[in-house]
């Protein structure tokens, strides 16, 4: 018994010596008194600690008894709801509810909703939206002690910042999704090897319906071409093993329709909520490859063209050099023939002198044409534009060959619908154009044939027609007859001689006058060469009267231009 009493003293923290020789009954009474004091002290300390905890919490707390009387609230509750003390001092929760409802944007449902939550007496969480745009999360919890309902606890937390972040996050998600949908490149996201997201560009490129392929295996979008299966498998293994990104590479894809397309694709993988996501970005490069191939072809052709230009330049230089080298000895030969003609007036020799002179003229014509065509090609050939009566120039040069056509039994007719037309031209080059065309007409016109030269005034231009009743030109030659070295009859047994340079030179001379030349022909009926020259005047130039040329000079020009016509 004594040991028990000492143990009690130890438990309650009392020194035995303080109580002297107190009887057992008195000692027990004293101990009970001390026990009550200690318990009250402990309860008070516990209450103070609980109050301190409630005041330090970040949530607003309101405690009610089962009769809806206010038992306790903390400072955070006052801060959130801004309720005056006179309302809380009544301890009436109904007055409190009616007071705070005006602060809410959904006040019409606040009271009825609160009553229903209280009546259900079960854990509940909802959100309250304030007029000042604050958002508070409300939590209801029944207060049960020893199995009995002793009251209810309302907890309030200001989550305005969190709601703003949630809204921004939702907005960002919508923005990102819209951005992905608007991307020109195809985007497909796989989750655990199944299609999780596909944008419009991918849907169009792969020719699939996005609603039908979502959630399906990746094969539903097409198959990898056998040539690219190995590298694609290696890339997929890298993407599946860890979070990584892979650069663009080219591969062929076989669509469900069987069509094969060439794409360029890059991929990256990431893990979210313990799930693997693989994103593929790709674009069709079929057209780009075609363009690159075309550019390569153009580059190669440009190189060939440059080489051809260089070759043409060398060829032009060669022709020019040869032509000048030939002209000097030809002039010596021609002068020697003329001297022999005067020294030896012997009839049998005249025939040979004539043949030699004609061939000298022919060589001279060829050399002159070669020199001029080369000068035109390199841009060194210039015309001397002056204001002339073009009708008189053409009429004079035409009539100068009438005697020559008579010897061939060919009728030459000149006609014009205007008597005078002043315009800028190079008179000498215009005469050369006409002599060349007349030479061709005579060359291919049989005896008893006709050659007509007509001029038509079209106000802003004149037309010169040189029409013959000769053998004509085949249809397949009409587009090439003005090309250098082209001849209608290129055989060694052709009816007339020629180098194929004359008409090309004529075309170039006409174009230097800003004009154009064309031909209309029927095989066996004849040809009509049509020259169109614009009517314009040379600035700061008066009209130049055409000088009456020496008949010998005119005959000399005719002999040169007609040198490839044999009797």
The tens digit of pLDDT for each residue in 136-145 reads 999 999 887 7
- Output the average pLDDT for the chain: 80
Residue 420 burial by Cβ neighbours in a 10 Å radius (0-12, 13-18, 19+): exposed
- pLDDT-derived band at 370 (thresholds 50, 70, 90) equals confident
| pLDDT at site 418 | 92
- Classify residue 555 as left (phi > 0), alpha (psi -120 to 50) or beta: alpha
List, in sequence order, every residue forming a beta bridge with 245; answer none if it has no partner.
Answer: 268
For residue 360 the two structure tokens come to 């000298």
Answer whether residue 388 shows pLDDT above 80.
Answer: yes
Tokens 């095989």 belong to which residue? Answer: 523
Answer whether residue 348 shows pLDDT above 80.
Answer: no
Is 521 in a helix, a strand, or coil? Answer: strand
Give the DSSP H/E element, type plus range, for residue 106: none
- pLDDT-derived band at 319 (thresholds 50, 70, 90) equals low
Mean pLDDT of 8-16: 46
Mean pLDDT of 539-557: 66
DSSP string, 126-155: EEEEBTTS-EEEEEEEEEEETTEEEEEEEE
Tell me how far apart the alpha carbons of residues 143 and 150 are, in angstroms, rounded to a whole number: 6
List, in sequence order, every residue forming a beta bridge with 453; answer none if it has no partner.
Answer: 414, 466
Lowest mean pLDDT among 252-266, 453-467, 480-494, 500-514: 480-494
Mean pLDDT of 69-75: 86
- pLDDT-derived band at 47 (thresholds 50, 70, 90) equals low
> 157-207 pLDDT, tens per residue?
998 888 888 887 777 777 767 777 777 888 888 888 888 888 888 888 888
Segments of 365-421 assigned E as strands: 386-389, 411-416
Mean pLDDT of 508-521: 92
List, in sequence order, every residue forming a beta bridge with 70; answer none if it has no partner.
Answer: 64
| pLDDT at site 313 | 73
Helices 502-512 and 427-443: crossing angle, nearest 10°? 150
| pLDDT at site 330 | 74
| pLDDT at site 30 | 60
Lowest mean pLDDT among 7-11, 108-112, 283-287, 361-365: 7-11
Segments of 228-290 assigned E as strands: 245-254, 260-272, 275-284
Is 415 in a helix, a strand, or coil? Answer: strand
Lowest mean pLDDT among 201-210, 444-453, 524-533: 201-210
> 255-312 pLDDT, tens per residue?
888 888 888 888 888 888 788 888 888 888 877 888 888 888 888 888 888 888 787 7
What is the percentage of the chain residues whose pLDDT exceeds 90?
18
> 211-238 pLDDT, tens per residue?
888 888 888 888 888 888 888 888 888 8
More confident residue, 420 or 353: 420
Q: What is the CA radius of gyration of the chain?
A: 57
| pLDDT at site 491 | 43
Q: Count the neighbouring beta carbons within 10 Å of the beta carbon of residue 201.
A: 20
| pLDDT at site 351 | 74
């Amino acid at each position: 018994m004594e040991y028990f009493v000492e143990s009690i003293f130890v438990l309650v923290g009392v020194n035995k010596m303080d109580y002297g020789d107190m009887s057992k009954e008195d000692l027990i009474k004293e101990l009970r008194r001390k026990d009550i004091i200690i318990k009250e002290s402990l309860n008070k300390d516990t209450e103070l600690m609980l109050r301190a905890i409630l005041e330090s919490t970040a949530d607003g707390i309101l405690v009610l008894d089962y009769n809806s009387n206010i038992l306790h609230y903390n400072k955070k509750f006052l801060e959130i709801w801004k309720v005056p003390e006179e309302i809380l001092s009544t301890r009436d929760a109904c007055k409190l509810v009616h007071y705070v409802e005006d602060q809410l944007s959904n006040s019409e449902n606040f009271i009825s909703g609160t009553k229903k939550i209280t009546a259900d007496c079960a854990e509940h969480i909802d959100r309250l939206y304030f007029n000042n745009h604050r958002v508070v999360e409300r939590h209801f919890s029944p207060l049960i002690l020893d199995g009995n309902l002793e009251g209810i606890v309302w907890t309030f937390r200001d989550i305005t910042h969190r709601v703003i972040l949630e809204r921004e996050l939702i907005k960002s998600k919508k923005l990102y999704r819209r951005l992905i949908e608007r991307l020109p490149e195809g985007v497909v996201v796989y989750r655990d090897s199944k299609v999780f997201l596909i944008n419009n560009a991918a849907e169009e490129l792969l020719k699939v319906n996005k609603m039908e392929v979502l959630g399906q295996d990746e094969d539903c979008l097409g198959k990898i071409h056998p040539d690219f299966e190995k590298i694609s498998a290696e890339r997929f293994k890298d993407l599946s093993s860890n979070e990584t990104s892979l650069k663009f590479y080219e591969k062929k894809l076989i669509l469900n329709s069987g069509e094969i397309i060439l794409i360029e694709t890059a991929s990256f993988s990431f893990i979210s909520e313990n799930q693997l996501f693989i994103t593929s970005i790709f674009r069709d490069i079929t057209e780009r490859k075609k363009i690159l191939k075309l550019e390569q072809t153009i580059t190669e052709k440009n190189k060939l063209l440059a080489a051809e230009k260089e070759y043409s330049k060398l060829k032009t230089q060669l022709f020019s050099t040869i032509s000048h080298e030939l002209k000097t000895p030809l002039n010596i030969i021609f002068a020697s023939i003329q001297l022999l003609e005067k020294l030896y007036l012997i009839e049998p020799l005249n025939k040979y002198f004539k043949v030699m002179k004609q061939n000298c003229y022919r060589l001279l014509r060829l050399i002159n044409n070669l020199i001029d065509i080369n000068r035109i090609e390199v841009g060194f050939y210039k015309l001397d534009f002056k204001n002339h009566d073009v009708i008189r120039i053409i009429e004079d040069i035409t009539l100068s060959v009438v005697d020559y056509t008579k010897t061939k039994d060919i009728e030459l007719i000149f006609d014009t619908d205007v008597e005078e037309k002043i315009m800028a031209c190079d008179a000498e080059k215009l005469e050369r154009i006409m002599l060349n065309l007349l030479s061709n007409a005579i060359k291919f016109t049989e005896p008893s044939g006709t050659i007509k030269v007509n001029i038509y005034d079209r106000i802003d231009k004149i037309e010169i027609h040189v029409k013959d009743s000769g053998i004509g030109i085949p249809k397949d030659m009409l587009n090439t007859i003005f090309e250098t070295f082209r001849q209608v009859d290129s055989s060694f047994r052709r009816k007339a001689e020629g180098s194929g340079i004359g008409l090309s030179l004529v075309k170039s001379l006409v174009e230097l006058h800003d004009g154009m030349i064309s031909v209309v022909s029927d095989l066996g009926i004849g040809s009509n060469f049509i020259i169109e020259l614009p009517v314009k005047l040379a600035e700061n130039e008066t009209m130049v009267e055409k000088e009456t040329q020496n008949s010998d000079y005119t005959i000399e020009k005719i002999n040169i231009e007609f040198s490839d016509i044999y009797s």
